[in-house]
Amino acid sequence: MLNKIKFIFYTFYVSAAWHIRKRTLAKTEHSGPIHLFFCMTDHYEPGTGGVDETVERAQVDKLLDVYPKITDKHQDADGRKPTRTWFFPPHYHRYGSLKKLVDLSDRGYGEIEVHLHHGKHTPDTAENLRETLDLIVEEYSQFGVFGEVDGERKYGFIHGDWALANSRCNQYCGVNNEIDILRETGCYADYTHPSRPESTPRQMNTIHYAKSWTDKPKSYNRGELAQVSKPGDESDQLLLIQGPLHPLQLGSNIATVRPIGDEIAGDPYTTKERIKRWVESAVHVEGKRDWVFIKTHTHGATDAKYVLGQEFEDILTELETNYNDGEKYILHYVTAREMYNLVKAAEDGKGDEAPITLMDYKVSKPKYDTSCDIEKASQKLDDLVYKTYRG
């Protein structure tokens, strides 16, 4: 009963906050069309569910075969095809899967960033987490995976099991000051949210900065909003780029209203109404209302039926048909890294420039090395992950 009451309260909170925000934003004046930046982040876990090696390999091979066939039929206002960002966990760096993703990315179909599950079987420690992240960056970099800022490798991050900064209270994390450790090991932004009710920031549908706490979890709950002409201080803060979170009525009456996040997984199916709600959520840099960021997520290996199938096709068709007329909307397909660069460009007052010229504004484009012939993670990296997470 208590959990049901909490869910009802959460639904009311999301609905009320979203409608208030929508009405407020509707009064915001802006000239010209709205630029929509659509980013699909993929928690790419081909071995989920304890499948055997044959199935795990087959799921990766299906991605390499089907994804180009779909995306080659579509393009945005700049003539660029849809792109995906694969957030890839080290415990599935085996059977040559990372090398295959690198090949796909090198051909212009997306980019690769860091996904990490930890603290499942025992709470992780700050020391073990830092060593794990440093080694992930080192080993993935052998494939040229990450872009750079002033010669320093930078990565985007999604937390496994929705437990960023120990937000699930020693379940699936254990490190209260995770934000600091991410930033200090080269993370440029987090893309975890929205997620579970207890983990999602109260400051929903925003792009904001988070600081670390050492004495309690979920330090990212609220923070300084990204703003035009006020670059965020990244010396002690980490940028959080959230996807849309909105109410959606799933049945014939108000009792069927549910808070729906940015997941693309067939349940609920991504209808035209859902896409409209994404746009209306208007996640943006404060002072730059005409740039709207739509970060979505999926689990592309296990939900391939939807994100390598008709649902994905329908999303692309709807975006290109109704949100790319050049007058009211201009559509741009972007990676997670490019989305971050656009946020930083807007903060620096570069918003009047053509977005296509700002995609590599701060973090450079990765220089993939498809000749790297490493089949799996090192034993040391496996051991670091295994200390707290056994997959």
CA 74 to chain CA centroid, Å, is 21
Mention every residue, 6+ apart, whose C-beta is less than 8 A from residue 132: 90, 116, 118, 381, 384, 385
**How far is the first Cα of the chain from the last one, in angstroms, to the nearest whole number?**
32
**What does the pLDDT look like over 135-150, one tens digit per residue?**
999 999 999 999 999 9
pLDDT at 2 over 80: no
**What does the pLDDT look like over 36-70, one tens digit per residue?**
999 999 999 999 999 999 999 999 999 999 999 99
**What does the pLDDT look like over 87-135, one tens digit per residue?**
999 999 999 999 999 999 999 999 999 999 999 999 999 999 999 999 9
Answer whether 344's CB lies under 8 Å from 361's CB: yes
pLDDT at 369: 97
pLDDT class of 24 with cuts at 50, 70, 90 = confident
pLDDT class of 255 with cuts at 50, 70, 90 = confident
pLDDT class of 1 with cuts at 50, 70, 90 = low
Determine the average pLDDT of the residues in 22-41.
Answer: 89
Q: Which residues partner with 332 through β-bridges? A: 37
pLDDT at 343 over 80: yes
Answer whether 333's CB lies under 8 Å from 359's CB: no
Closest CA to 182 of 231, 239, 230: 239
pLDDT class of 252 with cuts at 50, 70, 90 = confident
- Distance (Å, whole) CA 293 – CA 331: 10
pLDDT at 211: 96
Burial of 149 (0-12, 13-18, 19+ CB in 10 A): middle
Determine the average pLDDT of the residues in 1-30.
Answer: 85
Cα dihedral 177, 178, 179, 184 sign: positive
Answer whether 89's CB lies under 8 Å from 160's CB: yes
Mark residue 50 as left, alpha or beta (left: phi above 0; alpha: psi -120 to 50; beta: remaining): left
In order, the DSSP letters of 145-181 are: --EEETTEEEEEEEEGGG-GGGTTSSSS---TTHHHH
pLDDT at 196 over 70: yes
pLDDT at 172 over 80: yes
Q: What is the DSSP code (8-state) at residue 252?
A: S
In order, the DSSP letters of 336-390 are: HHHHHHHHHHHHTT-TTS-GGGGTTSSSPPP---TT----S--HHHHHHHHTT--
- Distance (Å, whole) CA 308 – CA 231: 38
pLDDT at 32 over 90: no
Select 32-386's CATH number: 3.30.160, 3.40.50, 3.20.110, 1.20.58: 3.20.110
pLDDT > 90: percent of the chain: 92
Q: What is the DSSP code (8-state) at residue 13?
A: H
Q: What is the DSSP code (8-state) at residue 38?
A: E
Determine the average pLDDT of the residues in 314-327.
Answer: 98
pLDDT class of 251 with cuts at 50, 70, 90 = confident
Q: Average model confidence (pLDDT) for the chain?
A: 96
Q: Domain extents for the chain?
A: 32-386
**What does the pLDDT look like over 352-365, one tens digit per residue?**
999 999 999 999 99
pLDDT at 179 over 90: yes
Burial of 288 (0-12, 13-18, 19+ CB in 10 A): buried
